[in-house]
């Protein structure tokens, strides 16, 4: 059962009519389904060893209500900034279930993590190791650390979201990993607890995972021979989701879990995962209203009230999101080819090129599917457009979990200097 389905001719989120919701909250807006978040989390957890830590990647969807929903199921959080760390704590996720990733943690951010007593820091370079050591020693603490190693595996995903190849800024270069562990072992403020890897995002085949995890499993054995206590293995996030209804879906959690089990079976480590997209993407939609249908010289445009400031993925990665009408079209409804665009003064403000849609009219509602991950979190106020608000649905209940910012609030966030 999908959480977003037509009922009585109208697209619903669980039991909530999205057309009625649009009347209440205005458009555009993001809408998340609690049931879908829960189902995606549980399906993933069921495919993995029961003592695994599943740390939801907050960068995918940082809304406190979403984090609280997942935290209540036992999820931890994968954070990449002091801000995300504070959000995870504010949502009630215990520090002991938080892992701190990211290539550029500042000392101030490290301090927040140390003070909170987080589960581990995933360290990505030797200078970061030295900095964390200094911060920990100054606080009279030892920081629990895994080193993120770069296995030099091509994740075969979009170039802008691949992270595990040699030319990427992420992780410690493979050939230096044992030396970096030796350095960590000499630092009194560092406690080595495990190994970390993450090779990219929206990965839709299992081979890159298998290649990377196998390399890392070998490294765990080597590091133990070198005398390090490796008790944890953080395998990152990255399992892709279906964005197109006409493509073969990517491997499911069970298939991924089988690869993990095969590669890690003799390792005796506690596994950590950092899924983001897999949990949140298909648990959310972006609902928008058609402002105009415009006939161009050679093309027909559907101009929406959502723009690239609300959903950046198509502009940034040429990402595909299915666009459906909120009012259910008849199976026989004729379809017309549109470029679906936003109102922003940028050619890149283009959601979909040459999309066949059942003739929406000005005032009609459309929904972007797969918008629950890397949607609202990547929004901005470009063109002085307050980003879309967020709604969480549970059964027949809904709640505005981030209200729409007003134009006045946006203007009030700027300051005019007294000397101007």
In this complex, which beta carbon is closest to ligand LLP, that of residue 215 or of residue 289? 215
CA distances from 291 to 185, 295, 316, 326, 375 (A): 61, 13, 23, 15, 21
325 is an active site residue: no
Tell me if 57 contacts ligand LLP by CB under 6 A.
yes
Judged by CB under 6 A, which stretch of 269-277, 299-307, 344-352, 395-403 contacts ligand LLP?
A: 269-277
Distance from C-alpha of 76 to C-alpha of 415, rounded to nearest angstrom: 38
Distance from C-alpha of 302 to C-alpha of 343, rounded to nearest angstrom: 10
> Could you tell me the two tokens for 274?
């950092």
Distance from C-alpha of 174 to C-alpha of 34, rounded to nearest angstrom: 40
Distance from C-alpha of 249 to C-alpha of 239, rounded to nearest angstrom: 12
Judged by CB under 6 A, which stretch of 34-42, 52-60, 224-232, 359-367 contacts ligand LLP?
A: 52-60
84 to 113, contacts with ligand LLP by CB under 6 A?
Answer: 101
Question: Which residues are CB-neighbours of 91 under 8 A, at least 6 positions away?
Answer: 64, 65, 67, 68, 71, 77
174 to 203, contacts with ligand LLP by CB under 6 A?
Answer: 198, 201-202
Q: Per-residue string for binding with ligand LLP, 221-260, x by CB under 6 A?
A: ---------------xxx----------------------
Tell me if 274 contacts ligand LLP by CB under 6 A.
yes
358 to 377, contacts with ligand LLP by CB under 6 A?
Answer: 373-374
What DSSP state is assigned to residue 239? Answer: B
Choose which of 28, 71, 275, 370 interacts with ligand LLP (CB under 6 A).
275
Largest CA distance in the chain: 71
Paired with 294 in beta bridges are 301
Q: Please tell me whether residue 200 adopts helix, strand or coil conformation.
A: strand
Q: How many residues does the chain have?
A: 420
Judged by CB under 6 A, which stretch of 109-117, 253-261, 272-280, 361-369 contacts ligand LLP?
A: 272-280
Write down the least CB distance from residue 270 to ligand LLP, Å. 17
Tell me if 313 contacts ligand LLP by CB under 6 A.
yes
* Catalytic pick among 345, 384, 411, 420: 345
Inter-residue contact 379 to 311 (CB < 8 Å): yes
In this complex, which beta carbon is closest to ligand LLP, that of residue 57 or of residue 133? 57
In this complex, which beta carbon is closest to ligand LLP, that of residue 27 or of residue 204? 204
Write down the least CB distance from residue 373 to ligand LLP, Å. 6
- Look at residues 274, 114, 257 and name the one whose alpha carbon lies nearest to residue 196: 274
List residues with catalytic annotation.
345
Binding footprint of ligand LLP on the chain (CB under 6 A): 57, 59-60, 78, 101, 161, 198, 201-202, 236-238, 274-278, 313, 317, 373-374
């Amino acid at each position: 059962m999908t959480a977003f389905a037509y009922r009585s001719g109208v697209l619903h989120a669980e039991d909530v009519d999205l057309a009625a919701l649009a009347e209440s909250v205005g458009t555009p807006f993001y809408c998340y389904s609690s049931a879908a978040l829960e189902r995606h989390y549980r399906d993933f957890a069921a495919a993995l060893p029961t003592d695994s830590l599943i740390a939801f990647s907050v960068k995918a969807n940082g809304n406190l209500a979403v984090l609280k929903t997942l935290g209540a199921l036992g999820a931890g959080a994968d954070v990449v900034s002091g801000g995300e760390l504070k959000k995870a704590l504010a949502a009630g996720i215990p520090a002991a279930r938080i892992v701190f990733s990211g290539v550029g943690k500042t000392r101030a951010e490290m301090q927040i993590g140390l003070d909170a007593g987080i589960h581990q820091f995933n360290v990505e370079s030797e200078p970061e190791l030295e900095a964390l050591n200094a911060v920990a020693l100054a606080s009279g603490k030892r920081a629990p650390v895994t080193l993120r190693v770069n296995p030099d595996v091509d994740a075969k995903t979009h170039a802008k979201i691949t992270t595990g190849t040699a030319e990427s800024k992420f992780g410690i270069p493979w050939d230096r990993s044992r030396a970096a562990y030796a350095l960590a072992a000499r630092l009194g403020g560092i406690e080595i607890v495990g190994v970390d890897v993450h090779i990219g995002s929206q990965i839709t085949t299992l081979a890159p995972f298998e290649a990377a995890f196998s390399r890392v499993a070998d490294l765990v054995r080597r590091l133990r021979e070198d005398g390090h206590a490796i008790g944890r293995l953080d395998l990152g996030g990255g399992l892709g989701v279906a964005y197109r209804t006409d493509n073969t879906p990517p491997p499911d959690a069970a298939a991924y879990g089988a690869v993990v089990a095969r590669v890690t079976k003799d390792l005796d480590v506690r596994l950590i995962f950092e899924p983001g997209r897999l949990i949140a993407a298909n648990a959310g939609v972006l609902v928008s209203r058609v402002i105009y249908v415009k006939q161009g010289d050679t093309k027909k445009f559907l101009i929406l009230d959502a723009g690239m400031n609300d959903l950046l993925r198509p502009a940034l990665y040429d990402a595909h999101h299915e666009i459906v009408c909120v009012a259910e079209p008849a199976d026989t409804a004729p379809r017309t080819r549109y470029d679906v665009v936003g109102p922003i003064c940028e050619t890149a403000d283009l959601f979909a090129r040459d999309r066949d849609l059942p003739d929406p009219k000005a005032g009609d509602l459309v929904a972007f599917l797969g918008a629950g991950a890397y949607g609202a979190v990547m929004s901005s106020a470009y063109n002085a457009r307050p980003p879309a608000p967020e709604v969480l649905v549970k059964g027949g209940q809904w709640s505005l979990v981030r209200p729409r910012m007003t134009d006045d609030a946006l203007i009030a966030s700027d300051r005019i200097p007294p000397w101007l």
